[in-house]
């Protein structure tokens, strides 16, 4: 099921039943970093607070919201809006399940601070997440005895710092995810496209096939395309008609490609 809605997400989200969304993967506007065809002037603290509150209403118990966000620098200071949003989500009832990092390369800027290389990906859960299909990679020390390795302890007791058993063949990846963004959105007329692989990785991590995934700031439809490719239902909302049509075309193309 694909449900694409054109309009203000604060209004269109009212059409989503309580507790019906398994996962949200979204990237809201970042302060004043982009204009989004002039629509960013509609974005304010009262808006993102209302969106987070309504996402809590629409999210199933055990569901997750992945909120990908960064901060602008105004008058020499980062705004800290990302932290404000994460803390407010907790006031709404979400758990801050994981503070993840989206590491990326960007063009060098002229300023007196180190170059910005990341954005936050806050994984907000409504209770304990029902689904977690962790992405795993090959262990560097697979097959070795843990007894030969120093293991992290939960206390200051250093008397028994060695592990027991054998190092597994695979291990969970960390919460810093790096993507090559050089060709992202090259032929798509949208100013802020995150990699489809980023959406894919969150979708397979926090949901299962047949689940419903939402993106209230659909933009060019990247989350929707990833949902088609991973057999999830998708609800996408976009305010700007130009971006909505781009998303609609991309998602329909993904559906058609899969049906061939």
What pTM was computed for the model?
A: 0.84
For 238, list phi and psi in degrees, rounded to 5.
-140, 130
Separation between Cα atoms, residue 256 and residue 260, nearest integer Å: 6
Confidence of residue 207 (pLDDT cuts 50, 70, 90): very high
> What tokens does 13 get?
């989200």
Task: Give the pLDDT mean for 24-47.
Answer: 69
Q: Which residues pair with 66 in a beta bridge?
A: 25, 123
Q: Which of 86-100, 134-148, 169-183 has the lowest average pLDDT? A: 134-148
Task: Give the pLDDT mean for 43-71.
Answer: 94
Please identify which residue in the block is written with the tokens 């689940």.
Answer: 211
Confidence of residue 240 (pLDDT cuts 50, 70, 90): very high
> What tokens does 84 get?
């404000």
Please give the pLDDT value at position 161: 52
How many C-beta atoms surround the C-beta of residue 83 within 10 A? 15
Please give the pLDDT value at position 34: 46
Separation between Cα atoms, residue 183 and residue 174, nearest integer Å: 24
- Contact by Cβ (8 Å): 182, 106: no
Reported as a single tens digit per residue, the pLDDT across 98-144 is: 999 999 876 676 667 788 888 999 999 999 999 999 999 988 877 77
Find, among 43, 47, 45, the residue nearest to 81 by Cα. Answer: 45
Q: What mean pLDDT is reported for the chain?
A: 86
| pLDDT of 190 above 50 | no
CA distance to 6, 28, 44, 109, 188, per residue, from 50 (Å): 18, 13, 10, 33, 29
> How long is the chain?
260
> What tokens does 217 get?
């700031």
CATH topology of domain 2-138+168-185+194-259: Rossmann fold (3.40.50)
Please give the pLDDT value at position 54: 97
Please give the pLDDT value at position 153: 52
Helix (H) or strand (E) holding 29: none
Please give the pLDDT value at position 154: 54
Confidence of residue 35 (pLDDT cuts 50, 70, 90): very low
- Contact by Cβ (8 Å): 221, 235: no
Query: Residues of the chain with pLDDT > 70: what percent?
Result: 80
> What tokens does 37 get?
């065809």
């Amino acid at each position: 099921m694909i449900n694409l809605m054109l309009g203000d997400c604060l209004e269109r989200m009212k059409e989503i039943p309580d507790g019906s969304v398994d996962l949200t993967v979204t990237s809201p506007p970042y302060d004043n970093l982009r204009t989004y065809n002039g629509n960013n002037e509609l974005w304010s603290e009262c808006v993102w607070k209302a969106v987070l509150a309504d996402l809590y209403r629409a999210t199933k118990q055990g569901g997750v919201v992945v909120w990908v966000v960064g901060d602008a620098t105004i008058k020499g200071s980062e705004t800290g809006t990302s932290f404000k949003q994460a803390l407010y989500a907790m006031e709404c009832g979400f758990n801050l399940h994981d503070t993840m990092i989206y590491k990326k390369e960007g063009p060098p800027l002229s300023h007196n601070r180190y170059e910005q290389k990341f954005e936050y990906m806050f994984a907000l859960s409504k209770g304990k997440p029902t689904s977690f299909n962790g992405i795993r990679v090959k262990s560097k020390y697979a097959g070795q005895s843990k007894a030969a390795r120093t293991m992290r302890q939960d206390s200051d007791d250093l008397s028994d710092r060695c592990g027991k058993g054998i190092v597994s063949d695979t291990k969970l990846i960390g919460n810093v995810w790096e993507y090559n963004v050089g060709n992202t959105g090259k032929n798509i007329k949208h100013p802020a496209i995150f990699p489809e692989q980023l959406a894919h990785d969150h979708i397979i991590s926090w949901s299962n096939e047949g689940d419903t995934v939402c993106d209230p700031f659909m933009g060019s439809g990247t989350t929707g395309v990833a949902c088609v490719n991973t057999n999830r239902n998708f609800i996408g909302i976009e305010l700007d008609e130009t971006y909505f049509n781009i998303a609609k075309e991309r998602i329909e193309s993904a559906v058609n490609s899969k049906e061939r």
